[in-house]
A = this chain, B = another copy of it.
C-alpha cells in the first residue's frame, strides 16, 4: 500500500498589528483552498499564525497581552478554518498562542495542533525550546520575549497517527535542536511539521544574521536525514512592523534533500508529493536505530543541561 501524502507548506507574509483574527484566518483559508486545488490533503501553516509576532514588544498591560492568545480552539474566529478543512477534506497544522487556566493559574504556551481531514484535532504540541529572554534587553530595536510570554511546553514531543503515517510537530527554535527530531524519530515519525518566525537581528550580530537562511535549512535537513523523516518547515516572514523575518519555507525529504522551497517573503504555497516510505532505505540500513544506536554512551544528553568543561590543564 502506497503511503503518499500530498503536502503543502503555506508560508505567510507579515501580519500587521492592526490585522484581526478574521483577516488572518481569511488568508489561511485562501491558502488552504489553493493547496486543495493543487491536490493536497495536508497544509502546514506557520507558528503563531493568527497574529503579529508580539514577543518583539514589551507588553506590560495584561489585557493587551492576553488579546494575542486563544482561549479555545476552534473559537468563533478560527472556526472557518475547521469548517473549510472539513468541507474540502484537507487536514492542517496550525500554530497559535494558547492561554489556559489550570487550577486557577493562568498558563501560556506557544502551541500547535494537527487537524485531520474531517476537521478534528488529532494532535497537540506545546513548544519546548523557547528562544530569547525573559526580561527586556536594553539597546535592542526589537525584543524577543518568548521566555516571558510563554512557559516551556509540558507535553514532550508526542506523535500521532494520521494521514497514513506517524505525524510529529515542532515549533520554530525546536528545529535547531537534534533532540527534537530524535525523540520523534524514536517513535517512528514519518513527517515532522513545524512553523517558524525567525527575525533577523536576533543575536545583534551580522555574522549570524548573514547565515540565517543557511542555518534554517541545515537544521531541518540534518533532522530529516538523521531520522529518515519528512520535515515540513513553514515561515512567517517579511517585514512585519519593521522587524524582518526569514522565509525560505521548505519541504525536506528523508534524504535531507529540499524538494520544495518558497522564494517570496509573502503568502506562498509550495507543495510536494511525500512518500512516507521514502525513509525506509535509511531506516533499514545506515539508520537502523535498533542495531546501530548505543544509548549506553548517550547519558550526558539527559544528565546535563549546560556544558561542563573538563578540569583545566
Contact = CB atoms under 8 A, between A and B. Distances in A.
B214 A256 contact: yes
B182 A301 contact: yes
A289 interface: yes
Interface string A160-197: 11000010000001001111001101111000000000
Contact of A305 (B166, B185, B215, B295): B295
B166 A310 contact: yes
Interface residues on A, range: 35 or more
A298 B301 contact: yes
Contacts of A298: 179, 182-183, 301-302
Contact of A281 (B185, B203, B221, B257): B203
A308 B226 contact: no
Contacts of A157: 297
Given A215-B225, A294-B129, A298-B301, A286 B205 contact: no
Interface in A291-313: 291-295, 297-313
A218 interface: yes
A300 B161 CA distance: 19
A310 B257 contact: no
A304 B295 contact: yes
Contact of A307 (B226, B286, B289): B289
B186 A256 contact: no
B226 A313 contact: no
Contacts of A187: 300, 307-310
A167 to B, nearest CB: 10
B297 A131 contact: no
Interface in A232-281: 255-257, 281
A166 B309 contact: yes
B306 A203 contact: no
A287 B297 CA distance: 22
A101 interface: no
A128 interface: yes
Interface in A133-160: 152-153, 156-157, 159-160
A109 to B, nearest CB: 14
Contacts of A56: none
A76 interface: no
B300 A211 contact: no
A226 B182 CA distance: 14
19 contacts: A128-B297, A131-B292, A177-B292, A178-B179, A178-B182, A178-B222, A179-B293, A179-B298, A179-B301, A183-B300, A186-B308, A188-B307, A219-B226, A222-B222, A222-B226, A283-B307, A290-B306, A295-B301, A301-B302
Q: Which 10 residue pairs of A and B lie closest in terms of their CB atoms, listed nearest first? A: A290-B306, A222-B222, A178-B178, A188-B309, A188-B307, A203-B285, A186-B300, A161-B313, A289-B306, A179-B298
